[in-house]
Structure 1
Amino acid sequence: MARTKGFDEATVLQRARDLFWEQGYKATSIQELEVATGLSRSSIYRFFGGKRSLYDQTLEAYQKENLRGMREILAAPGNLRTRLQALFNRILEAKTKPGNNCSAGCYIVNSTTELATTCPDNFGFVATNRKKFVAVLTEAIRQAQAAGEIAASADPLAQANLLFVGYNGLQVVTKTGMPNEELSATIEQLLSGLAWA
């Protein structure tokens, strides 16, 4: 008879993610993961493939959650500027929410800055994440063009890339203690730079 896991996979991934998010991948030991997840080393290897595989799975789970939230915001009623404002305001909300690890920056952005230049596998993940993020933004901009909100002459991909760079840049600078009023002003400036009709 096959043995059941005896644990909730989503809970384990969340606990491991929180530890990696707080300390970074390299600084997190397998012993610390045992304590955080409640699993033995052998179970971590048996069910998740080891530290690196567990880390990759936490990134994938976070990416799905993040993109789902992004799509929900961009599909909400209102004009594109209002929806983009709501999307960028997530950075401010996460920064001030008690107990939220987003105050330490975005999990995927942190992974990018820690591992992208030293780990080819991680570079592939963050490159794919960028493409998915930009694809969602590009579609939203195309829809706004069709509605007459964005200039018909604008390049939707270029506009989406501008938003992607701005969004991720703001995720990084939240870690520097930039005041919310300055972050808000930066967001306003960034959104004003789009090719509004």
Structure 2
Amino acid sequence: MPRTQDFDTAEVVGRARDLFWDKGFEATSIPDLERVTGLNRSSLYNAFTSKRGLFDAAVHDYLDRVVRPRLRILTDEPTRPDAAVRYYRSLAGALASLPDETPGRGCLLLNSAAGFAAHDDTQRSVVDAYQRELSGALTHALRAHDPDASTATLAHRTRLLTSLSVSALLLSRVNRDEAVAVANTAVEQLEEWRRT
């Protein structure tokens, strides 16, 4: 008779997600995961099959609990004309609130892109899907921002704003002030497009 699970899977995944987010997949050890989850190695393997299985669950949790709620401001209907500006102001505010003495977390997915996703097809496809989701949300908001913009203009602006998002999130791991400045640059650019 199989043993019954006596822990909250969502809580374990959330704790593992935060550890992977802080340290990255490669630098996170099984003993680290045992420590933060309170589970032993065999329980982790029984529930998630491997460290990678737990990481994949953490990535899905990150998308559902962190990324998509933040993107909702860009995709809610009816979409406000200032949705993109509000998104970048919110991002700048979140980055500015990081403590001075600790590095920021950045983005779990982008952090993996700068690491093991370069040689892992599965993670590369997850990061690529995230980039498409972010770009799609920005395109949607930009249509509300400037309904008369051509498809080519929207594509150009989306690419630029996506790049600023990626830059701000990556920089937040090493230079909070510059990350905030990059997010504010997106706000300034959006306001300039609005005036022209």
- How does the TM-score come out when normalised to structure 2? 0.81
The percentage of counterpart residues that share the same residue type is 28
Q: Aligned letter for 1:189?
A: E
Cα deviation, residue 62, structure 1 = 0.7
- Give the count of matched residue pairs: 191
Q: Which runs of 5+ in 1 are unaligned?
A: none
Q: Which whole-Å CA distance do the structure 2 matches of 1:18 and 1:29 have between them?
A: 13
Q: Which whole-Å CA distance do the structure 2 matches of 1:53 and 1:10 have between them?
A: 14
Q: Which whole-Å CA distance do the structure 1 matches of 2:185 and 2:171 have between them?
A: 11
Which residue number corresponds to residue 9 of structure 2? 9
1:152-173 deviation per Cα after TM superposition (whole angstroms, max 9, x unaligned) = 3243333322221111111112
Which shifted more, 13-22 or 156-165?
156-165
Q: 1:103 to 1:10 in 2, by over 3 A?
A: same
| Equivalent runs, 1:86-105 vs 2, <5 Å | 86-97=86-97, 103-105=104-106
Q: Which whole-Å CA distance do the structure 2 matches of 1:132 and 1:58 have between them?
A: 18
Q: Which whole-Å CA distance do the structure 2 matches of 1:160 and 1:177 have between them?
A: 24
Q: Is the 8 A contact 2:80 2:141 kept in 1?
A: no
Q: 1:131 to 1:52 in 2, by over 3 A?
A: same
Q: Aligned letter for 2:169?
A: Q
Q: Aligned letter for 1:153?
A: S
Q: Is the 8 A contact 2:79 2:141 kept in 1?
A: no
Cα deviation, residue 98, structure 1 = 5.8
Cα deviation, residue 184, structure 1 = 5.4
Q: CA RMSD in A?
A: 2.8
Secondary structure of the 1:4 match is coil
- How does the TM-score come out when normalised to structure 1? 0.81
Which residue number corresponds to residue 118 of structure 1? 119
Q: Which whole-Å CA distance do the structure 2 matches of 1:188 and 1:176 have between them?
A: 22
Q: 1:11 to 1:97 in 2, by over 3 A?
A: farther
| Equivalent runs, 1:1-197 vs 2, <5 Å | 3-65=3-65, 66-72=67-73, 74-75=75-76, 79-80=80-81, 82-97=82-97, 103-142=104-143, 144=144, 149-155=146-152, 156-179=154-177, 182-183=181-182, 185-192=184-191, 194=193
Which shifted more, 171-180 or 129-138?
171-180
Q: Is the 8 A contact 1:95 1:102 kept in 2?
A: no
Q: Which runs of 5+ in 2 are unaligned?
A: none
